Amino acid sequence: MWLVAQFRLQGSKVLAVDLMGDAVKARNGSMVAYSGQMSFKKLSGGGDGLRGMVTRRLTGEQMVVMEVKGQGTCYFADRATEVNLVRLNGETLYVEADNLLCTEATLHTGTSFTGLHGMTSGNGLFTTKVEGQGWAAVMSDGPAIILRVSQGMPLRVDPGAYIAHTGNLNRNFKSGAGFSTFFGEGGGEAVQIEFVGDGLVYVQPSERVTIGGDV
Protein backbone atom coordinates (compact mmCIF):
# COMPACT_ATOMS: atom_id res chain seq x y z
CA MET A 1 0.00 0.00 0.00
CA TRP A 2 2.91 2.34 0.57
CA LEU A 3 3.63 2.16 -3.11
CA VAL A 4 0.66 4.41 -3.74
CA ALA A 5 1.43 8.07 -4.28
CA GLN A 6 0.58 10.19 -1.23
CA PHE A 7 -1.20 13.47 -1.96
CA ARG A 8 -1.03 16.23 0.63
CA LEU A 9 -1.33 19.99 0.67
CA GLN A 10 1.60 22.24 1.45
CA GLY A 11 -0.32 25.33 2.46
CA SER A 12 -3.48 25.71 0.42
CA LYS A 13 -1.91 26.48 -2.94
CA VAL A 14 0.76 23.83 -3.36
CA LEU A 15 0.21 20.14 -3.81
CA ALA A 16 2.92 17.83 -2.53
CA VAL A 17 3.00 14.28 -3.83
CA ASP A 18 5.22 11.66 -2.22
CA LEU A 19 6.23 9.14 -4.83
CA MET A 20 7.75 5.72 -4.24
CA GLY A 21 8.66 4.73 -7.72
CA ASP A 22 5.12 5.14 -8.98
CA ALA A 23 3.68 7.80 -11.26
CA VAL A 24 1.13 10.61 -11.32
CA LYS A 25 -0.34 12.60 -14.17
CA ALA A 26 -0.10 16.35 -13.73
CA ARG A 27 -0.88 19.43 -15.73
CA ASN A 28 2.06 20.16 -18.01
CA GLY A 29 4.47 22.63 -16.47
CA SER A 30 2.84 22.69 -13.05
CA MET A 31 5.86 21.28 -11.19
CA VAL A 32 7.39 23.95 -8.98
CA ALA A 33 9.95 21.90 -7.08
CA TYR A 34 10.96 18.36 -6.30
CA SER A 35 13.30 16.45 -4.11
CA GLY A 36 14.68 13.03 -4.96
CA GLN A 37 14.76 11.52 -8.42
CA MET A 38 11.99 12.45 -10.84
CA SER A 39 11.45 12.01 -14.51
CA PHE A 40 8.95 14.09 -16.47
CA LYS A 41 7.40 12.88 -19.68
CA LYS A 42 4.88 14.82 -21.69
CA LEU A 43 1.82 12.82 -22.58
CA SER A 44 -0.09 13.80 -25.67
CA GLY A 45 -3.86 13.92 -25.66
CA GLY A 46 -4.32 13.96 -21.92
CA GLY A 47 -2.60 10.59 -21.49
CA ASP A 48 -5.71 8.76 -22.58
CA GLY A 49 -3.97 6.81 -25.33
CA LEU A 50 -4.41 7.24 -29.05
CA ARG A 51 -8.18 7.16 -28.94
CA GLY A 52 -8.27 9.70 -26.16
CA MET A 53 -5.88 11.91 -28.07
CA VAL A 54 -8.14 11.94 -31.09
CA THR A 55 -11.20 12.52 -28.93
CA ARG A 56 -9.61 15.43 -27.14
CA ARG A 57 -8.48 16.97 -30.38
CA LEU A 58 -11.95 16.62 -31.81
CA THR A 59 -13.83 17.83 -28.76
CA GLY A 60 -11.61 20.75 -27.93
CA GLU A 61 -11.33 19.59 -24.32
CA GLN A 62 -7.57 19.92 -24.61
CA MET A 63 -5.50 18.88 -21.68
CA VAL A 64 -1.73 18.84 -21.80
CA VAL A 65 -0.43 16.57 -19.09
CA MET A 66 2.86 15.07 -18.11
CA GLU A 67 3.70 11.87 -16.36
CA VAL A 68 5.83 12.34 -13.29
CA LYS A 69 7.61 9.25 -12.07
CA GLY A 70 10.25 8.73 -9.45
CA GLN A 71 11.22 8.58 -5.83
CA GLY A 72 10.82 11.53 -3.55
CA THR A 73 8.46 14.47 -3.21
CA CYS A 74 7.20 16.53 -6.10
CA TYR A 75 5.44 19.90 -5.61
CA PHE A 76 2.81 21.20 -8.01
CA ALA A 77 1.13 24.60 -8.23
CA ASP A 78 -0.46 26.76 -10.87
CA ARG A 79 -0.80 30.57 -10.78
CA ALA A 80 -1.32 30.55 -7.01
CA THR A 81 -4.77 29.02 -7.33
CA GLU A 82 -6.19 27.05 -4.44
CA VAL A 83 -5.73 23.29 -4.58
CA ASN A 84 -8.55 20.99 -3.48
CA LEU A 85 -8.01 17.28 -2.93
CA VAL A 86 -10.74 14.92 -4.03
CA ARG A 87 -10.70 11.28 -2.99
CA LEU A 88 -12.39 8.98 -5.45
CA ASN A 89 -13.57 5.52 -4.47
CA GLY A 90 -14.95 4.29 -7.72
CA GLU A 91 -17.01 7.41 -8.40
CA THR A 92 -16.61 9.61 -11.40
CA LEU A 93 -15.42 13.18 -11.06
CA TYR A 94 -16.42 15.52 -13.83
CA VAL A 95 -14.09 18.48 -13.97
CA GLU A 96 -13.19 21.26 -16.37
CA ALA A 97 -9.84 20.37 -17.97
CA ASP A 98 -8.47 23.78 -17.00
CA ASN A 99 -9.10 23.01 -13.34
CA LEU A 100 -7.48 19.59 -13.13
CA LEU A 101 -4.01 19.80 -11.60
CA CYS A 102 -2.95 16.26 -10.87
CA THR A 103 -4.34 12.73 -10.73
CA GLU A 104 -3.02 9.45 -9.47
CA ALA A 105 -1.90 7.09 -12.19
CA THR A 106 -4.53 4.60 -11.05
CA LEU A 107 -7.27 6.98 -12.15
CA HIS A 108 -8.61 6.84 -15.65
CA THR A 109 -9.28 10.12 -17.42
CA GLY A 110 -11.46 10.70 -20.42
CA THR A 111 -13.88 13.14 -21.97
CA SER A 112 -17.59 13.32 -21.56
CA PHE A 113 -20.29 15.14 -23.44
CA THR A 114 -21.88 17.74 -21.21
CA GLY A 115 -24.83 18.66 -23.28
CA LEU A 116 -25.48 21.78 -25.18
CA HIS A 117 -25.19 24.15 -22.27
CA GLY A 118 -21.41 24.05 -22.59
CA MET A 119 -21.60 26.12 -25.70
CA THR A 120 -23.26 29.07 -24.05
CA SER A 121 -21.27 28.79 -20.86
CA GLY A 122 -18.03 29.09 -22.78
CA ASN A 123 -16.71 25.95 -21.14
CA GLY A 124 -17.00 23.86 -24.28
CA LEU A 125 -19.35 21.05 -25.09
CA PHE A 126 -17.22 18.48 -23.35
CA THR A 127 -15.77 18.06 -19.94
CA THR A 128 -13.09 15.82 -18.50
CA LYS A 129 -14.06 12.84 -16.41
CA VAL A 130 -11.83 11.13 -13.91
CA GLU A 131 -12.78 7.72 -12.57
CA GLY A 132 -11.33 4.97 -10.44
CA GLN A 133 -9.76 4.74 -7.01
CA GLY A 134 -7.36 7.41 -5.84
CA TRP A 135 -6.67 11.07 -5.35
CA ALA A 136 -7.26 13.91 -7.74
CA ALA A 137 -6.26 17.53 -7.19
CA VAL A 138 -8.58 20.21 -8.52
CA MET A 139 -7.69 23.89 -8.77
CA SER A 140 -9.99 26.78 -8.00
CA ASP A 141 -9.75 30.56 -7.83
CA GLY A 142 -10.30 30.90 -4.10
CA PRO A 143 -11.11 27.87 -1.96
CA ALA A 144 -13.80 25.69 -3.49
CA ILE A 145 -17.19 25.42 -1.82
CA ILE A 146 -18.72 21.97 -1.93
CA LEU A 147 -22.48 21.95 -2.25
CA ARG A 148 -24.66 18.90 -1.87
CA VAL A 149 -27.47 18.24 -4.27
CA SER A 150 -30.17 15.84 -3.14
CA GLN A 151 -33.59 14.84 -4.33
CA GLY A 152 -35.97 17.73 -4.20
CA MET A 153 -33.19 20.23 -3.61
CA PRO A 154 -31.68 21.12 -6.95
CA LEU A 155 -28.80 23.55 -7.20
CA ARG A 156 -28.26 26.21 -9.79
CA VAL A 157 -24.75 27.36 -10.49
CA ASP A 158 -23.23 30.16 -12.46
CA PRO A 159 -21.29 28.53 -15.32
CA GLY A 160 -18.30 30.72 -14.60
CA ALA A 161 -18.06 29.49 -11.04
CA TYR A 162 -18.58 25.80 -11.75
CA ILE A 163 -15.46 23.66 -11.36
CA ALA A 164 -16.40 20.04 -10.89
CA HIS A 165 -19.02 17.61 -9.68
CA THR A 166 -19.34 14.02 -8.55
CA GLY A 167 -22.24 11.69 -8.09
CA ASN A 168 -25.34 10.91 -10.01
CA LEU A 169 -26.32 14.32 -11.30
CA ASN A 170 -28.13 15.55 -14.31
CA ARG A 171 -27.01 18.83 -15.72
CA ASN A 172 -29.57 21.02 -17.36
CA PHE A 173 -29.02 24.24 -19.08
CA LYS A 174 -31.36 26.71 -17.49
CA SER A 175 -31.98 30.07 -18.96
CA GLY A 176 -32.83 32.51 -16.27
CA ALA A 177 -33.50 34.98 -19.01
CA GLY A 178 -37.12 35.71 -18.50
CA PHE A 179 -39.34 38.29 -20.02
CA SER A 180 -37.42 41.02 -18.29
CA THR A 181 -34.28 40.32 -20.30
CA PHE A 182 -35.99 41.31 -23.48
CA PHE A 183 -37.79 44.11 -21.84
CA GLY A 184 -35.25 46.64 -20.72
CA GLU A 185 -32.24 45.50 -18.77
CA GLY A 186 -30.87 42.00 -18.47
CA GLY A 187 -30.93 40.18 -15.17
CA GLY A 188 -27.20 39.62 -15.30
CA GLU A 189 -27.58 35.99 -14.37
CA ALA A 190 -28.98 34.88 -17.67
CA VAL A 191 -27.44 31.43 -17.93
CA GLN A 192 -27.28 28.87 -15.16
CA ILE A 193 -26.49 25.18 -14.89
CA GLU A 194 -29.10 23.28 -12.93
CA PHE A 195 -27.98 20.14 -11.13
CA VAL A 196 -30.64 17.59 -10.25
CA GLY A 197 -30.10 14.25 -8.53
CA ASP A 198 -27.69 13.16 -5.81
CA GLY A 199 -24.15 14.39 -5.67
CA LEU A 200 -21.68 17.11 -4.85
CA VAL A 201 -20.92 20.23 -6.85
CA TYR A 202 -17.69 22.20 -6.46
CA VAL A 203 -17.92 25.93 -7.08
CA GLN A 204 -15.28 28.61 -6.77
CA PRO A 205 -15.83 32.08 -5.27
CA SER A 206 -14.96 33.69 -8.57
CA GLU A 207 -16.22 33.68 -12.12
CA ARG A 208 -14.36 32.92 -15.29
CA VAL A 209 -14.98 35.22 -18.18
CA THR A 210 -17.47 33.39 -20.32
CA ILE A 211 -18.73 33.82 -23.84
CA GLY A 212 -22.17 34.31 -22.41
CA GLY A 213 -20.92 37.65 -21.19
CA ASP A 214 -21.07 39.05 -17.73
CA VAL A 215 -23.08 36.29 -16.13
**Interface residues toward another protein, by CB under 8 A:** 8-9, 11-12, 84-85, 141-143, 145-150, 153-158, 161, 176, 178, 180-181, 183-189, 200-201, 203-207, 214-215
Residue 80 vs 116, nearer CB to another protein: 80
- By C-beta, is 61 or 82 nearer to another protein? 82
Least Å distance, CB 179 to another protein, is: 8
DSSP 5: P
CB of 142 to another protein, least distance (A): 3
Min separation Cβ 98 and another protein, Å: 15
User: Is 70 strand, coil or helix?
Assistant: strand
Q: How far, CA to CA in Å, does 41 sit from each of 29, 37, 44, 68?
A: 11, 14, 10, 7
For another protein, the closer CB: 63 or 191: 191
CB closer to another protein, 2 vs 179: 179
Q: How far apart are CA 111 and CA 97, in angstroms?
A: 9
Cβ burial 28-60 (10 Å sphere, 16+ → b, else e): eebbeebeeeeeeeebebbbbeeebeebbeebe
The minimum distance between CB 60 and another protein, in angstroms, equals 25
Hey, how many other C-beta atoms are within 10 angstroms of the C-beta on 152? Answer: 6
Cβ 28 to another protein shortest distance, Å: 24
**Which C-beta is closer to another protein: that of 2 or that of 183?**
183
Rounded to whole angstroms, the Cα distance separating 133 from 152 reads 29
Q: In terms of Cα–Cα distance, which of 151, 160, 153 is closest to 204?
A: 160
